[in-house]
């Protein structure tokens, strides 16, 4: 019981971590709190489901298709919708308020389009649903694959940010945007790339979630809220923090559901969130100051 | 190498620079002197692309810089060490130096340049993994200068490199600048520490209320009554005594 709960918690947490990475990048690098983030995940869920049910294309192949599409969609939204707001803000705090309102509007536009296109029914498909025995417990293969792919993407992203020239430039923009020009970094361009990369991660998260979870066109807000909680718990812009906070949240929810009461999972989530906000407002792994 | 002609900079109704002209030749070390509010930093910011001039010409190697975006200035061979340093405090020394090589012009020969820079600032060689924000003010200034050098510049702009530093650290920073000057790199320095900067520079300009009111060799400026009155407390003792 304990081991299976631990595995389920880690699997769920891995997905939460992946969900949060994109949002963390979009806010940390582009300074845009994207409230429509969950809707973009759902678009990937529906796209991968369609590819699987209509063409028989496995969700991991679907993931390879929706990730570049997510990057492209992020790029287009930043260019068409966010860039005018960035120009108007003049680099001030007005950008955060404007982009929160703009993406709040975008949330309903995308949700409306999904409702018209896919309807309001719950959607799912069956892919590698059989159980696999690990250390005396059984776990669905699709959940295990989603967990492993989430970790590979998460640690791959972390390595990219630490080791590559592009990653270092993205971190520089995230940590000190006002100094980035001194080393020849175009903050506007990197901000756009960071937002697009967040879109690609949202798409990856959507593709993986669709493998084992039922979803509907109105579920985006739940995904966004979970991602937001993980981002704040891990420390805004802190990739490793988001990974660990995601795993912790998944474990907390699963253990509360298994050993206390399934009805208290949301309460456990928000209790952790409130505790972090009260005692560690910069996040479990965040640092004060810039 | 750098020519500035009739440069005007305004902030709303306030005129920071009202028609300034100056030139810096290759290999020179030129200092800009002036009291607070004289327009020294505005001048450096305009050359660094941070501030857009209201009018006038800033020309580097014959190319007009007035409309070049700030992030492209470093690609033209001009590296700025701003007042406040502009370091990436939550990144390591190694990351800050690696970011110095971000411009395309700096990617070739980066490793050799890194070795040279670490020879210039041995203290940084020992602390490459340390977060820059945890270092002393003098060490942070060294990181800022080292990072600028990593971009393979032809012209290094320094805005108040000794600001907020203890005298002994200032001495160390100026000693490093002296060694940089010996390499033949062109330097343009804005500095309140007139003694140290005139000891380093070959020439200088004196700014007052946004205009050039004097210029000449370092020796001429040192004995200029206006400079002595304003900055040197009326003394013209040899500067070496203070630096050594």
pLDDT, tens only, B204-227: 999 888 899 888 898 888 888 877
Q: How far is CA B37 from the centre of its chain?
A: 17
pLDDT (0 to 100) of residue B232: 62
pLDDT (0 to 100) of residue B236: 43
pLDDT (0 to 100) of residue B9: 92
Q: Tell me the mean pLDDT in the region A264-269.
A: 90
Query: Smallest Cα–Cα separation from B31: which of B176, B198, B234?
Result: B198
Chain B residue whose CA is closest to A287: B90
Higher pLDDT residue, A74 or A133? A74
Helix (H, G, I), strand (E, B) or coil at A283: coil
Tens of pLDDT, residue by residue over A99-131, are: 999 999 999 999 999 999 999 999 999 888 888
pLDDT (0 to 100) of residue A287: 54
Whether B102 and A165 lie within 8 Å, measured CB to CB: yes
pLDDT (0 to 100) of residue B185: 94
Measure the CA–CA gap between B35 and B191, rounded to whole angstroms.
10
Structure token digits, residue B109: 């020969």
Interface-testing mutation among A91, A182, A283, with chain B (most B C-beta atoms within 10 A): A182
Q: Tell me the mean pLDDT in the region B123-139.
A: 92
Whether B86 and A172 lie within 8 Å, measured CB to CB: no
Chain A residue whose CA is closest to B76: A184
Q: Is B10 buried (19+), middle (13-18) or exposed (0-12) by CB count in 10 A?
A: middle
pLDDT (0 to 100) of residue A91: 64
Query: What share of chain B has pLDDT > 90, as a percent?
Result: 60
Query: Smallest Cα–Cα separation from B104: which of A169, A175, A192, A195?
Result: A169
Mean pLDDT taken over chain B: 88
- Whole-number Cα distances in Å, A257 to A196, A247, A266, A267: 35, 15, 10, 11
Identify the domain containing residue B203 by its residue range. Answer: 28-45+69-243
pLDDT at B188 > cutoff 60: yes
Q: Residue B10: inside a domain, yes or no?
A: no
Name the residue ranges covered by the structural domains of chain A.
Answer: 2-279
Measure the CA–CA gap between B16 and B211, rounded to whole angstroms.
9
CA A36, A38, A40, A44: dihedral to nearest 10 degrees? -170
Q: Residue B63: inside a domain, yes or no?
A: no
pLDDT at A93 > cutoff 80: no
Q: Where are the alpha helices (DSSP H) in chain B?
A: 40-47, 70-73, 93-100, 110-120, 122-125, 137-150, 167-182, 194-200, 218-223, 225-231, 240-243
Q: Is residue B34 within 8 Å of residue B207, measured between CB atoms?
A: yes
pLDDT (0 to 100) of residue A50: 96
Confidence band of A286 (pLDDT split at 50, 70, 90):
low
User: Which run of H or E residues covers position B203?
Assistant: strand B203-208
Specify the CATH number of the domain A2-279. 1.10.3470
Q: Tell me the mean pLDDT in the region A211-226.
A: 92
Q: Encode B133-145: b = buried (16+ Cβ within 10 Å), e = exposed.
A: eebeebbbbbbbb
Chain A residue whose CA is closest to B97: A183
Q: What φ, ψ does residue A68 adopt, rounded to 5°?
A: -65, -35
Chain B residue whose CA is closest to A165: B102
pLDDT at B239 > cutoff 50: no
Confidence band of B196 (pLDDT split at 50, 70, 90):
confident
Q: Tell me the mean pLDDT in the region A176-193.
A: 93
Confidence band of B34 (pLDDT split at 50, 70, 90):
confident
Size of chain B, expressed as the number of residues it contains: 244
Q: Residue B55: inside a domain, yes or no?
A: no
Query: Smallest Cα–Cα separation from B150: which of B89, B91, B103?
Result: B103
Confidence band of B235 (pLDDT split at 50, 70, 90):
very low
Tens of pLDDT, residue by residue over B43-95, are: 999 999 989 999 999 999 989 988 899 999 999 999 999 998 999 999 999 99
Q: Is residue B95 within 8 Å of residue B114, measured between CB atoms?
A: no
pLDDT (0 to 100) of residue A47: 97
pLDDT at B37 > cutoff 90: no
Interface-testing mutation among B90, B91, B133, with chain A (most A C-beta atoms within 10 A): B90
Q: Residue B238: inside a domain, yes or no?
A: yes
DSSP-derived letter for residue A123 is: B
Interface-testing mutation among B86, B88, B103, B107, with chain A (most A C-beta atoms within 10 A): B88
Confidence band of A38 (pLDDT split at 50, 70, 90):
very high
Rg (CA), chain A: 19
State the nearest Cα–Cα gap between B239 and chain A, in angstroms.
32
Q: Is residue B133 within 8 Å of residue B89, measured between CB atoms?
A: yes
Measure the CA–CA gap between B173 and A197, rounded to whole angstroms.
41
pLDDT (0 to 100) of residue B58: 93
Q: Tell me the mean pLDDT in the region A244-251.
A: 91
pLDDT at A204 > cutoff 80: yes
pLDDT (0 to 100) of residue A92: 66
- Give the number of domains in chain B: 1
Higher pLDDT residue, A55 or A136? A55
pLDDT at A90 > cutoff 80: no
- Please report residues of A whose CB lies closer than 8 A to that of B91: 171-172, 175
Residues of A with CB under 8 A from a CB of B: 165, 168-169, 171-172, 175-176, 178-187, 287, 289-290
Q: Is residue B1 within 8 Å of residue B24, measured between CB atoms?
A: yes
Structure token digits, residue B238: 């040899």
Measure the CA–CA gap between B222 and B203, rounded to whole angstroms.
10
pLDDT at A54 > cutoff 70: yes
Confidence band of B243 (pLDDT split at 50, 70, 90):
very low
Higher pLDDT residue, B241 or B182? B182
pLDDT at A284 > cutoff 90: no
């Amino acid at each position: 019981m304990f081991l299976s709960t631990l595995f389920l918690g880690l699997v769920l947490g891995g997905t939460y971590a992946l969900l949060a990475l994109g949002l963390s990048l979009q806010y940390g690098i582009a300074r845009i709190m994207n409230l429509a983030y969950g809707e973009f995940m759902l678009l990937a869920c529906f796209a991968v489901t369609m590819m699987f049910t209509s063409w028989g294309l496995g969700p991991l192949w679907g993931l390879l298709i929706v990730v570049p599409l997510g990057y492209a969609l992020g790029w287009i939204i930043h260019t068409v919708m966010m860039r005018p707001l960035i120009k108007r803000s003049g680099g001030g705090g007005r950008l955060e308020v404007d982009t929160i309102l703009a993406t709040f509007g975008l949330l309903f536009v995308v949700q409306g389009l999904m409702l018209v296109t896919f309807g309001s029914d719950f959607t799912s498909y069956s892919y590698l649903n059989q159980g696999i025995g690990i250390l005396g417990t059984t776990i669905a293969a699709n959940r295990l694959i989603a967990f492993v792919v989430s970790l590979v993407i998460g640690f791959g992203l972390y390595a990219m940010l630490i080791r590559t020239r592009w990653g270092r430039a993205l971190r520089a923009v995230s940590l000190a945007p006002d100094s980035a020009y001194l080393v020849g970094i175009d903050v506007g361009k990197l901000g756009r790339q960071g937002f697009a990369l967040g879109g690609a991660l949202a798409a990856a998260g959507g593709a993986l979630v669709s493998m084992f979870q039922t979803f509907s066109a109105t579920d985006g807000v739940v995904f966004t809220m979970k991602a937001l909680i993980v981002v704040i718990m891990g420390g805004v812009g802190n990739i490793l923090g988001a990974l660990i906070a995601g795993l912790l949240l998944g474990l907390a929810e699963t253990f509360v559901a298994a050993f206390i009461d399934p009805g208290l999972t949301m309460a456990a989530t928000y209790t952790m969130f409130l505790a972090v906000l009260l005692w560690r407002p910069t996040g479990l792994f965040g640092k004060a100051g810039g | 190498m750098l020519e500035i002609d009739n440069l005007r900079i305004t902030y709303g109704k306030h005129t920071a620079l009202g028609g300034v002209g100056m030139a810096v030749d290759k290999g020179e070390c030129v200092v800009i002197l002036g009291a607070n509010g004289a327009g020294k930093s505005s001048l450096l910011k305009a050359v660094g692309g941070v501030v857009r001039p209201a009018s006038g010409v800033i020309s580097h190697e014959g190319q007009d810089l007035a409309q070049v975006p700030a992030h492209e200035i470093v690609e033209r061979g001009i590296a700025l060490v701003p007042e406040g340093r502009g370091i990436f405090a939550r990144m390591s020394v190694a990351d800050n130096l690696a970011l110095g090589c971000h411009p395309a012009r700096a990617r070739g020969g980066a490793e050799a340049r890194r070795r040279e820079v670490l020879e210039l600032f041995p203290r940084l060689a020992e602390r490459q993994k340390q977060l820059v924000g945890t270092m002393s003010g003098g060490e942070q200034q060294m990181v800022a200068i080292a990072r600028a050098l990593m971009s393979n510049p032809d012209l290094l702009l320094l805005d108040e490199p000794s600001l907020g530093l203890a005298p002994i650290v200032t001495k160390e920073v100026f000693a490093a600048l002296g060694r940089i000057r010996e390499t033949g790199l062109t330097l343009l320095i804005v500095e309140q520490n007139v003694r140290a900067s005139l000891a380093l520079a070959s020439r200088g300009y004196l700014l007052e209320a946004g205009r050039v009111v004097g210029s000449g060799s370092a020796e001429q400026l040192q004995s200029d009554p206006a400079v002595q009155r304003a900055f040197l407390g009326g003394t013209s003792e040899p500067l070496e005594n203070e630096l050594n």
